[in-house]
């Protein structure tokens, strides 16, 4: 396990993922019934952008660094939470901030150091459980939740060439155990072929109601660069396809490269 999220914290891909995460949790909270948020690849929880790995790569400067001043309305809640939380918050701390008293957050993180840091960052909290546990195993073991409503965020590091295959298998396993769950899986767009294969695998899986939201900073031609990213959502909440495009447009307007091929996309892969 070589991937350390600290090098990338607050970059454009984190902004995309976290802005959508905030929207998805808010959408599930339109009803008063309790929800579970399961963060299967949780990371360390918070990151100092002014020191260490994040400072060395400086990726955040073209991400959250471009949003902090006067955020556009579709990003205001996300940026407001980042400001309130201080050091750049990862998905677990953002999700925790969104919980209502009746909701729960469960986090899985396998890396020993990031797990230990996450535990410290989540200090004893009756609404939060942190496990040093394999994400793919947890999907079988922790679902369905007692709440019967929930969001599962899958954010693997894409270190191994078969990560898209594991993700497709994990989504199918998770939704088989929890058919009413909202599953949101982040993926990189370096070049098109692996993304097309992943979409095709999900279309062939028999799972219904699948939409992908994408943000491309440039045409995905150079496989050595992170040219964009996407979020594949199973069982997207009501109005996902109407309310997410303004978030994507605001991200592109602030974070775009102005290079050929920059664009946003909403792709309905499988009908309801
Ligand atoms: C992209 S980072 C997560 C970032 C985090 N979701 C956020 O948005 O702040 C991926 C994390 O998954 C962890 N990881 C890798 N393989 C895992 C596995 N099989 N189960 C659980 N965690 C894993 C890595 O150590 C890394 O911290």
Pairing of strands 36-39, 150-154: parallel
pLDDT greater at residue 257 or residue 88: 88
Mean pLDDT, rounded, of the chain: 97
With 0.85 as the threshold, say if the pTM is over it.
Answer: yes
Whole-angstrom distance, CA of residue 219 vs CA of residue 261: 4
Q: What burial letters (b/e) apply to 246-270, b meaning 16+ CB within 10 Å? A: ebbebbbebbbeeeeebebeeeebb
The DSSP line for 71-108 is --GGGHHHHHHHHHH-SEE-HHHHHHHH--TT-EEEEE
Question: 123: pLDDT confidence band, cut at 50, 70 and 90?
Answer: confident
* Residue 115 pLDDT: 98
Distance from residue 42's CA to the centre of ligand 1 (Å): 5
Average pLDDT over residues 16-30: 98
Cβ–Cβ under 8 Å, residues 26 and 98 = yes
Closest ligand 1 atom to residue 90 Cα is 9
Kindly report the protein residue whose alpha carbon is nearest to atom 12 of ligand 1: 41
pLDDT, one tens digit per residue, over 234-249 is 999 999 999 999 999 9
* Residue 257 pLDDT: 85
Q: Which of 41, 93, 155 to mutate to test the pocket of ligand 1 (most atoms within 8 A of CB)?
A: 41
C-beta 188 within 6 A of ligand 1: no
Say yes or no to pLDDT of 1 above 90. Answer: no
> What percentage of the chain has pLDDT greater than the value 70?
100
C-beta 110 within 6 A of ligand 1: yes
Structural domains of the chain, ranges and CATH numbers in brackets: 5-270 (3.40.50.150)
Closest ligand 1 atom to residue 138 Cα is 20
* Residue 190 pLDDT: 97
> What percentage of the chain has pLDDT greater than the value 90?
97
Question: 135: pLDDT confidence band, cut at 50, 70 and 90?
Answer: very high
Average pLDDT over residues 47-61: 95
């Amino acid at each position: 396990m070589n991937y350390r999220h600290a090098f990338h914290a607050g970059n454009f891909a984190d902004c995309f993922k976290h802005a959508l995460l905030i929207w998805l949790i808010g959408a599930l909270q339109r009803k008063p019934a309790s929800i579970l948020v399961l963060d299967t690849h949780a990371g360390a929880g918070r990151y100092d952008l002014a020191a260490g790995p994040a400072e060395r790569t400086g990726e955040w400067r073209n991400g959250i660094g471009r949003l902090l001043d006067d955020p556009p309305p579709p990003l205001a809640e996300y940026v407001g939470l980042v400001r309130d939380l201080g050091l750049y918050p990862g998905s677990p701390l953002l999700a925790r901030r969104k919980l209502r008293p009746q909701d729960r957050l469960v986090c899985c993180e396998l890396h020993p150091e990031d797990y230990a840091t996450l535990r410290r960052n989540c200090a004893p909290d009756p609404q939060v459980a942190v496990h040093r546990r394999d994400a793919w195993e947890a999907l079988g073991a922790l679902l369905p939740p007692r709440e019967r409503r929930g969001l599962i965020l899958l954010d693997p590091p894409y270190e191994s060439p078969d990560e898209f295959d594991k993700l497709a298998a994990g989504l199918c396993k998770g939704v088989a155990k929890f058919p009413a769950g909202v599953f949101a899986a982040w993926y990189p767009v370096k070049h098109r072929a692996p993304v097309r294969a992943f979409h095709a695998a999900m279309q062939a899986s028999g799972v219904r109601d699948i939409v992908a939201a994408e943000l491309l900073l440039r045409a995905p031609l150079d496989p050595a660069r992170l040219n964009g990213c996407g979020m594949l959502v199973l069982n997207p909440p009501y109005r996902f396809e109407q309310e997410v495009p303004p978030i994507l447009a605001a991200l592109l307007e602030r974070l775009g490269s102005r290079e050929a091929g920059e664009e946003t996309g909403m792709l309905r892969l499988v009908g309801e």
